[in-house]
Structure 1
Amino acid sequence: MNLHEFQAKELLAGYGLPSPGGRVAITPQQAEAIAVDLGPSAIVVKAQVHAGGRARAGGIHIVNSPVEAKAAAAKLLGKKLVTAQTGPEGRIVKRIYVEVGVQSVHELHLALLVDGKSGQVMLIGSARGGDDIEERAARGELRLEKLGLGDGKTRQADAVAAFAHNIRIDNRLIPAFETIVDGLRRAFVELDASLIEINPLAITRDGFQALDVKMALDDNALFRHPELAALRDEGEIDRREHEAQNHQLNYVSMDGDIGLVANGAGLGLATVDMVCQAKGRPANFMDIRTTATTRDVAYGFGLLLDNPATRAILVNVHGGGMQPCDTIAEGLGIAMRRTGRSLPVIARLAGNNAEFARSRFVNFGCPIIECPDMWTAATRAVEIARKGA
């Protein structure tokens, strides 16, 4: 679950993270009043959307008076903000964050996330922060330092101090930096976060200030944090993805033309990777949970069939004890009857009730192109999607 910048800053303030200070507004008049309260200084007016790259997209304005803050808010509120991370559909700005402007001496990048290879909490940082850090890192223009923190439950002052040296933090600031990292470490574990990113972390004449914070919480752990679950912004969630959750499906929209269905997150990700490796374009990621019923599966297939960009469907399932292959076959049959749309279906079936699933496809009148392995299925799906273009 992604949080807005202002939500993340409010949460992390309780763990000692310093930030300039500001409040949220939903009208230009509120923005003006907040700017008056913040006092005679530069003011930053920021669109609050779940996407990075706001500055380059015109979503952040630096102003010098409450009147200018009101005008900047009027330009943003109710407007569509399109960034590199929103895609062409963009996000409607429904609230803004009005914050004290900060004069930076230097800007760093700092992040905590779960390392996919080792499973440990990883601290990542760079001596140079900024809005285009991903592009600069990809071009090899900056060095990312990494420090494994294990399960994140233990303070590692000496290792963090060495990390600080590596990203060229002045010796006099290292104690304050250690305090910030320790607070972020505790927040990461206690709040069940999956990402905390501060970019930039500004060095000012008085110390550190977190100018922007991106934070994501683990959806699977929200049952432990009902107060955090209440922070979810339903307006920022893809309606299809939200409804899919209610149907026991993990679904993520993508911009390709091959609809993907798998049972298991790892199998689903591997399917996405194989389609991409075969030079294809996935239309989605879909993981059917073990608790999904035939109707839930039918809803998932309906999402693929309702997508006009989908030209082929790749089904990659391995039936287990709680989710046999025939449940997936029946779901597809029901979805095709409901939508009235038929697409080429490339299937790789294995495991529990695979043979029965084949007969269910026939009974529903759903011809499939069956492949013996994942790679064959992926390459065939790409070939068919191109022919249908």
Structure 2
Amino acid sequence: MNRGTRALLAVICGVAVASIYASQPVLGQMGRELSVPVEAVGWLVAAAQLGYLVGLILLVPLGDLLNRRRLIVVHLVLLAGALALVAAAPVAWVAFAGLASTGMLAVVVQTVVAYAAALSDPAERGRTLGVVTSGVVIGILGSRILSGALADLWGWRSMFVALAVLAVGLAAVALFRLRADSRTVLVPSYLGVLRSFFHLLAQPSLLGRGAIAFFLFASFGALWSGMTVPLAGAPWHLSETLIGVVGIAGLTGALGAARAGRWADAGHANRVAGIALVVLLASWLLIAQLTWSLILLLLGVVVLDFAVQAVHVSNQHILTSADPGRVSTTIGAYMVFYSLGSATGAASTTAVYAWAGWHGSAMLGAAFAAAGLVAWVLASSVRRASHATEGMSEPRPRLVA
């Protein structure tokens, strides 16, 4: 896999994931125009995450059955249609439906990750996953910056129009630039792939990594969905553009993804995940100071995003290395926990803020981070026990479908 292909895949991931998170900086504006109560605006993000969950279950496993290049192209075209529906939504329920559809089709990200992992040399799989995942980070944070700026100029709908145009353009490029991934299909039917998917969800090694992902992204969602309201209010009164600019600090997460990939290739994936979870918990001490210091908030955002992406890439490296024949199904099963965690963080943080203010939201985010660290300790114990039982020199998760 050459540098140009990696870059194209990273851009596709960036645009797809941006479609889920573009609403975060403009939640206030969307809520006012669509008559959504303040305590419920977090559900605009949660709707996309729940749609993502459905896509992970029903669409991502297709990558182990069909040509992944074709799937990528079709998903991008359908994603453009869902984005157009959000942009044209006249009332709240249409926007919720459009956002849910957008989330469901944005799982093209996982098909891209599976495509990249399957075509990479095993010795460079971590590096490739790091580059592709850095595109996800840039898409998440870049969407916040552009969404805020475009909302100030032309309203919140303009961002969804822009993303729809980009999705169509990338579909055309992918059709001609990506090659088919020739491989042996281990499960020849869709029902068989779905059965394999649910069997994987019951495996202890995937459950351990999945629990880490759930709390990791619940903490992530608690920050990015929760801080929009306090930044727009006293004492800061930031515009949508400036709220989006806060996302620039999180671009360091892209560095975390790339570096974690190299550490994983060197055999340190599990250790890196544990250290990064400790760093994630510490970041909330800084983020909690939002009410009086933007500098400390920005520093906390840098630390949090770096830690989140380091854990995420390490988890994916461990799981895809364990079962290379079912990369799409494995990643899809793992990302179920990501989607549930993100939706939980987004929906709960605005409700907690309405009740206990920003310090309540910060405590919630820190609690999610602490729970993720506990999940890592338990998953590591299972890993060591498996190593002792099987007599392996280097423990690796076993995923049996």
User: What interval of TM-score do these two structures reach, taking the shorter chain for normalisation?
Assistant: under 0.3
Higher relative strand content: 1
Q: Rg: which structure is higher? A: 1
Give the TM-score, by structure 1 length: 0.24
Give the TM-score, by structure 2 length: 0.24
Higher relative helix content: 2
The one of the two structures with greater contact order (alpha-carbon pairs below 8 A, sep at least 6) is 2
